[in-house]
Amino acid sequence: MAVVIYAILFFILLEELVVLGVKRYINGAFRIETYFLSLYRKYRMKANLKKAG
């Protein structure tokens, strides 16, 4: 009986970890995306300045 209880607790913990991992992955991916977008904007502005100059 105790094994069943431990198994249920283990699966609940596992699910929590998976949800946390997915949230963290999504947040990380979003952060990386915004970082690359800001880099792209900087590069584009520099290119525009060179063209204007």
Segment 5-52, tens digit of pLDDT: 999 999 999 999 999 999 988 888 888 888 999 999 999 888 888 877
pLDDT at res. 10: 96
Calpha distance 37→53 (Å, rounded): 24
Q: How do the domains of the chain map onto residue ranges?
A: 19-53
Report the length, in residues, of the chain: 53
- pLDDT, position 28: 87
Question: Which amino acid is it at 28?
Answer: G
Stated pTM of the model: 0.48
Query: Which pLDDT score, from 0 to 100, does residue 4 have?
Result: 94
So what's the pLDDT on residue 40?
92
